[in-house]
Structures are given as C-alpha cells and as structure tokens.
Amino acid sequence: MYRKLMFSTAISCFSLTATAAPFMAMDPRSLGMGGTGVSAATSAGAVFYNPALLAAAKADEDFSLEIPTLTLRVADPDKLRDSVSDISDKDPFQKFSTALDAFNTPTTNPTIFNQRKTNLFNASTDMRNALVSISDRTVEAGGNFGVVVGIPSKRFGSSFMANYWAAGGAYGEVSGVDLKAIDDSIAAVQSQDITSLLTQNDITQNFTSFVALRAATFLEIGLGFGREFELAGHTFAGGITPKFVQVQTYDYKYVAKELDTADLTSQQGEKKYGSFNIDLGVAKDYGTAWKTGFAIKNLIPQTYETGAKNQIKVGPQARIGASRHTDRTTLAFDLDLNPTDPVGFGGKTQYLGIGGEVDVWVLLLRLGYRYNIADSASSIATVGLGLDLLGLHLDISAGASPDVGEVNAAAQLGFRF
C-alpha cells in the first residue's frame, strides 16, 4: 500500500498546478546551499525537506536537537516599505487637509492669501507624489521559527518537528480618478485670485487608492518517519510526515489617506483554521557518492479563506533533487516540479537550486544559487558558514539579490551526536 501511494503521488506531481506557499528554505544549511535539501539534507533538516532521509543518515548520526532554527526573507523590489513609512512620517494627506482649511478661511490680505495658495499647491503636489510612490508596488516577506528533535537510523529513523512559519505581502494600487482629482484641484487653486474666494472641497474624502496586506501564519507540528525498503531488487528509503497545521490568515486594506495614522494590529482581518496534512518522500543512495531524492509537501490540498473573502491555497509541492557526497564535500541540485503562487501579491516561484558544502576541519563553508524559473529577476546568490565542534552546531547563512531588493538570512543552534 505504501509503495502504491508513493508511486501514484510521484506520477501525479507532473500535472500539479500552481499553489500558494513556496517550498521555502527552513534552515541555514539549505539556504546557504541555494535552497537545496531534498537529497542532501542532514538528519537535522530531513523533516523539512524529505523525511526519507531519516533512513538514509550517515553512520555516525544518532541524535539531533535543533533549537531554534530561524529564517527570514524580505523582497521589496519597488521599496514599498520605504514609501509607506515616508507617508506615515510626513502625513501628506493630513497636511493637505490643514492647508485646505487655511485656504478656505476668508481673508482680504493678498500676502496671506498667496501664501495659503502656495501652501495648498505644495501640499497637493506632495500628496500626489505620495500616491505615485505606492502605485503598483509590492513587497513580500516570510520566515520561520522551528524546533527539531531527530533520531535517524540507517534502517528506520524518526523526527519531531514544531515549526511556525509565515508568508505574505503588500500591494499598492492608485486610482487614476484620485490623481485626476488632485490635478483638477491644483489647477483650480492656481486659477483663483483673491477676489473670487471659491471654496475648495476636501477631495481626500473620496479617494479609493489603497495599500492591501495579505498574509498567513502556519504552525506545523509533525512526526517524520523514514524507513528502508526493497523494490525491484533495489534499496530505497521512504518517508512520511503526518502533521497538524494551525493556520491564521490576515487580509486587510487601507485607503491611502489612512496611511497617515494607520495602526495595524494582529487581530485585524484574522481568521483561524486547523487542518491535517502529509509530507512524503523517497531517497536512493547509489553507493557511488551519489544520492537522489523526491518529495511532495502538503499532499492534501487546502484552501483557506481570508476575512476579505480571498483564498490562500496550499497544495502539493513536488521537488526532485540529486547530490554527490564525499568525506569533505557535498554538491546538491534541487528542482521544483510545479510553480507556486505567493501568499501575498508577488510573482510566481519555481526554484532550481544548486549549492555546495566543504568541510574544513570544524568549519563548514557553503555557497549556492537559487534560480527562479518563473521569474529569473528574483534569483539570488547564497553563502553560509557552519561550526561543528564536539557535537555543537552553529550555522548562519544569507542570500541577496540587489536587483530586486531581496534579502534572506538564517541561523541555527543545534546538537548532533
């Protein structure tokens, strides 16, 4: 039955459509090696990438404790965060309202009138620039905090995993009607003289431009199991991770003029769900330094509705990998078999990762590159460093793509014996 399940899922992955929540690097070793791990993860990371590797561990691996594992990713190609922060600091919409109130206050003094006119013109221009600064711009963010306890074995291994991770993003959309209203207001103010004293309306009351935020957090608690088995005269390792998943979705929209004083709290737009899911994997050690792996995460498709009636879909994510291992080196390749939509508002992802690790006494040096087949501009180079001293492991890594404003970082403290 188990072999039939693994075979059927392997065949079905080639017809998978895009899902949300990408196949993320959940630990610094994987991130430092370009996001690889399906065939190259250690017992400490196997439950994140391929539970079959719990039964394909190194001979000297008997126990691993990782507490904690931390990762963070931010991609802000259009600097939307800076624009929103600038709006919050400078209050252009409030300043426009203040200048408008002053302009609408009657006066017969030409000097005062012209000064108010200039102030309103400048406030209108600043408000227009503020709207343009958020137009069609996106930002993405994600990360995780995890704890892993692994007991690997050449025949049968297990691992406990508790992982809290999040993904989401924001998007700014500006209405052409709002921009035209500002331009018309500026033209009307410029045409006025002190003898007409026409009252101007507060056009911000009808603005429809907005910044939308959508995100989800996932608390996964699972037990991974890996076991060797024979198939057609060949030895494979198979793995399964049943897991409980608690999901919280966030979805809210701020009309642009509210960004002056927006106060975002975690309860806004929140919905909670509880569900069950399964990760599956297989691995094959060829006895010639080469190893291959195949994994499907989140085998059971799930759809979570947000408070704004949008949907966040988490479906099967299939990945294959190959790696070459020696006593001092590891070289790994991973490929996503299906594209993934973002939880927030960014572009699709479908990763091809390549990375390597060199063991230099107690130091582990790592380099990698993660290429996004769906959007090559968001590809990143990665680097990592590990310390392995008498069972103590300390790992850090980082990745960046200056062209798209993406930064990744990860750290982990662990004990392996």
- CATH of residue 327's domain is 2.40.160.60
Say what the pLDDT of residue 366 is: 98
Residues 272 and 166 in one domain: yes
Residues 164 and 287 in one domain: yes
Residues 297 and 366 in one domain: yes
Residues 71 and 150 in one domain: yes
Say what the pLDDT of residue 21 is: 64
Range of the domain at 202: 82-134+175-206
- 3-class secondary-structure state, position 300: coil
Residues 48 and 93 in one domain: no
Is residue 136 a contact partner of residue 172, using CB atoms and an 8 Å limit? yes
Say what the pLDDT of residue 267 is: 47
Ranges of residues in the chain with a pLDDT under 70 are 1-22, 56-60, 193-199, 260-269
Q: Based on the structure, what is the number of domains in the chain?
A: 2
Instruction: Give the max Cα distance, the chain.
Output: 99
- CA gap 298, 276 in Å, rounded: 9
Residues 188 and 221 in one domain: no
Say what the pLDDT of residue 402 is: 80
- CA gap 396, 400 in Å, rounded: 14
113-136 in b/e form (b: 16+ CB < 10 A) is: beebbebbbebbebbbebbebbbe
Say what the pLDDT of residue 391 is: 87
Say what the pLDDT of residue 115 is: 93
Residues 202 and 344 in one domain: no
- 3-class secondary-structure state, position 30: helix
Residues 6+ apart with CB under 8 A from 120: 96, 99, 100, 102, 103, 189, 200
Domain termination site, one of 206, 227, 249: 206
- CA gap 96, 235 in Å, rounded: 72
Residues 30 and 62 in one domain: yes
Domain termination site, one of 183, 206, 229: 206
Domain termination site, one of 189, 206, 223: 206
Residues 246 and 365 in one domain: yes
- CA gap 302, 299 in Å, rounded: 9
Say what the pLDDT of residue 289 is: 92
Say what the pLDDT of residue 154 is: 75
Say what the pLDDT of residue 259 is: 73
Say what the pLDDT of residue 155 is: 79
